[in-house]
Amino acid sequence: MTRRYKKITFLTGQSRPGGRAAWAMLLGCCALLASMLSVARAQKAPEASEEGKRVYEKSCAHCHGIEGRGDGSAAENLLPRPRDFTRGLYKIRSTEAGQLPTDQDLFDILTEGMPGSSMPGWETALSANERWEVVAYIKTFHEGFKENEAPRQIDLSGKIAYSEQSVETGKALYTELGCVECHGNVGRGDGTSAPTLTDEWGFRTWPANLAQGWNFRGGGDTEDIFKRFIGGIAGSPMPAFEGDSFLHFGLASEESKRLTELESKDEMTEAEEEESGKFYEKMDAAVDIALSITEGETLNTEDRQTFDNAMRVVYEKSWHLANYVKSLSPEKRPEPAIGNNVLRAQYVGGELPALGDAAWETLKASYFPVVGQIIVEPRQFNPTLDSINVKSFYNDNEVAFLFTWDDRTHTTALEDEETGKKVLEDALAIQFPVKVPQGPTAPKPYFLWGGRLPVYLWHWKASAPEQVTELTAKGINKAEVQAVQSNIQAKGTYTDGQYNLWVKRALKTDDKKDLQIEPGVFVPIAFSAWDGANGDVDTNRVISSWYTFVLEPVPSSRRFIYPPLVALLSVGALFGLRMFVRRRNS
């Protein structure tokens, strides 16, 4: 019976009538004031009207369906699928587990959209009034909204401010609570169970890459993250933190630590057995109370106290964990590699740094966003890769690149479920024109692996991590392996949900089909990448537009000679002018 505490079970947001409305009251005046303030901010939707129906059918029904079942004509190709409003399962809420969202929650999602999914923000397309009408209309699809009882909102008043120490505490909890299983060691969504997850409707779903906060569906603020913990993400495998889905629910932090310590022992003494037994009893009691709340029972004072104490621990730990998750992502999505962020290879005097050399840490990576290839069939409508990040060094003879990208799975040979034949694997192709276009209006090759003008490609596959093959292509299905392969050194590694690929080539080669690289010349560059576990193969891939990179010329040493000379001359000129005026005056 003790096993049930160790394993996180996936609550999928079953409806839970009745309540623990008194919870907020116990936190004293402060909490009360805060919740009153938040109520004051939150608006209520108007009564459902024809206007809401009209806007819904014009702007929403193509994905969410005329009857709100999430089965519009666009739905088939989308992952995550558009929400089925008839089930009343909402992922992004400010309310506790098993509760419906507030009107304000629905309004906020309509306004801001869900980053990383196909749900756009409607702030500019629809007026606030129209959005409220849509909220009212969406609510008519689910009976539960007709109950008058307001959903219980998550109390945010106990927020623990961001600090190094809180992040450290959160980091320890991340492992302890089992987040690693799905989200991976450092949070890139590469946990061992990541490839096996499905949502409530049976569709493949991937754990969030916690290092890409700009893709968090409900926003990347600490409060947003905290709400996902307490409320869960209904319909997805992400559990709400309560009852038996939370490690050692019912124990205080120190008790939990002690129990972990006891459980790690190979053999327990009799006294220790007794001690851990007491902990189990305590946890059992707390979980039973949680269950009875789920079943709608009213609690006596003592049980209420026990439950609130248990939840207080959950809230505290969740704030630390939220601070840790927040620390994993940059403040916002990096700017793409154009303008000031263009990829500039830096000159080094001697040998180019190898993979893992500390010198790479001194460069800022250029960010190349990628999208699903939906131009040529078969198409990739639901890409899993976000971007390729690139750094580069060069010396007098060679150039070295470091390509870094996040991929939740390390796939080297996976059988395609549909055909049973093709072997799927992760791969990257770096694309250059064979000849650099001269001048801005000179034609570049077609960005999708060339056309009339050919492109020159470096093709790397996860199954042969130390090999890059040179290709020439005149179209996405017209690539040929070059007969003469230049000497290209490559080394690819996969750690914690991230590929690092190091490639080194001479600036000049003898092969006319190769790109010749010169310092100071801007060269078009583009990418294709494949995530085998997502079914990517051939045209099924992610792609980027053309970008540019340049071997940043070593700044001319004249910059140390001419400017001081000019300054000196100006001093001389001023002095001469003074002499001239003086002479004339006398």
Residue partners of 416: CB distance under 8 A and separation at least 6: 422, 423, 424, 535, 537
Per-residue b/e over 488-513, b at no fewer than 16 CB within 10 Å? bbbbbebeebbbbbbbbbebebebeb
Site map (CB under 8 A) of other proteins, residues 411-450, x = contact? --------------------------x-xxxxxxxxxx--
| Other Cβ atoms closer than 10 A to 290 | 22
Among the listed residues 374, 414, 464, 507, the single contact to other proteins using CB under 8 A: 374
Smallest distance from other proteins to CB 64, Å: 11
Indicate the residue among 5 and 107 with the shorter CB distance to other proteins: 107
Among the listed residues 39, 66, 375, 554, the single contact to other proteins using CB under 8 A: 375
Stretch that binds other proteins, among 353-361, 396-404, 478-486, 557-565 (CB under 8 A): 557-565
Indicate the residue among 18 and 475 with the shorter CB distance to other proteins: 475
Indicate the residue among 82 and 243 with the shorter CB distance to other proteins: 82
The C-alpha torsion from 502 through 506 and 512 to 513, rounded to 10°, is 0
Tell me, by CB under 8 A, how many residues bind other proteins: 67
Are the C-beta atoms of 426 and 410 separated by less than 8 Å? yes
Indicate the residue among 379 and 410 with the shorter CB distance to other proteins: 379
Amino acid residing at 30: C
Among the listed residues 62, 142, 159, 312, the single contact to other proteins using CB under 8 A: 62
Residue partners of 369: CB distance under 8 A and separation at least 6: 336, 386, 387, 544
- 327 forms part of the interface with other proteins (CB under 8 A): no
Indicate the residue among 481 and 575 with the shorter CB distance to other proteins: 575
- 73 forms part of the interface with other proteins (CB under 8 A): yes
Stretch that binds other proteins, among 220-228, 266-274, 316-324, 564-572 (CB under 8 A): 564-572
Smallest distance from other proteins to CB 104, Å: 22
The C-alpha torsion from 203 through 207 and 211 to 214, rounded to 10°, is 40
Per-residue b/e over 421-442, b at no fewer than 16 CB within 10 Å? eeebbbbbbbbbbbebeeeeee
Stretch that binds other proteins, among 84-92, 153-161, 277-285, 366-374 (CB under 8 A): 366-374
Smallest distance from other proteins to CB 416, Å: 22
- 202 forms part of the interface with other proteins (CB under 8 A): no
- Quote the CA–CA distance of 383 and 373 in Å, as a whole number: 8
What residue spans of 470-527 are helical by DSSP H?
none
Q: Where are the beta strands (DSSP E) in 31-130?
A: none
- Specify whether the backbone of 243 is left (phi greater than 0), alpha (psi in -120 to 50) or beta: left
Among the listed residues 372, 454, 492, 497, the single contact to other proteins using CB under 8 A: 372
- 341 forms part of the interface with other proteins (CB under 8 A): no
Smallest distance from other proteins to CB 407, Å: 17
Q: How many helices (H) and strands (E) does the chain have?
A: 13, 16
The encoded tokens of residue 349 equal: 């005097």
Stretch that binds other proteins, among 358-366, 391-399, 462-470, 551-559 (CB under 8 A): 551-559
Q: How far is CA 53 from CA 57, 126, 139, 451, in A?
A: 6, 14, 11, 47
Smallest distance from other proteins to CB 164, Å: 34
Are the C-beta atoms of 536 and 530 separated by less than 8 Å? yes
Which helix (H) or strand (E) covers residue 389, if one does? strand 387-394
Find the binding residues for other proteins in span 117-176 (CB under 8 A): 117-118, 120, 122, 124-125
Smallest distance from other proteins to CB 356, Å: 29
Find the binding residues for other proteins in span 502-521 (CB under 8 A): 520
The encoded tokens of residue 108 equal: 């906020």
- 332 forms part of the interface with other proteins (CB under 8 A): no
Indicate the residue among 280 and 381 with the shorter CB distance to other proteins: 381
Indicate the residue among 423 and 442 with the shorter CB distance to other proteins: 442
- Quote the CA–CA distance of 147 and 156 in Å, as a whole number: 25
- 570 forms part of the interface with other proteins (CB under 8 A): yes
Are the C-beta atoms of 384 and 411 separated by less than 8 Å? no
Are the C-beta atoms of 300 and 292 separated by less than 8 Å? no
Site map (CB under 8 A) of other proteins, residues 530-549, x = contact? --------------xxx-x-
- 72 forms part of the interface with other proteins (CB under 8 A): yes
Angle at 465 between CA 464 and CA 469, to 5 degrees: 65
- Quote the CA–CA distance of 495 and 407 in Å, as a whole number: 10
Smallest distance from other proteins to CB 529, Å: 13
Site map (CB under 8 A) of other proteins, residues 106-125, x = contact? -----------xx-x-x-xx
Chain positions contacting other proteins, by CB under 8 A: 58-59, 62-63, 72-74, 76-77, 117-118, 120, 122, 124-125, 336, 338, 342, 344, 369-372, 374-377, 381, 437, 439-448, 451, 520, 522, 544-546, 548, 550, 552-553, 555-556, 558-559, 562-564, 566-568, 570-571, 574, 577-578, 581-582, 585
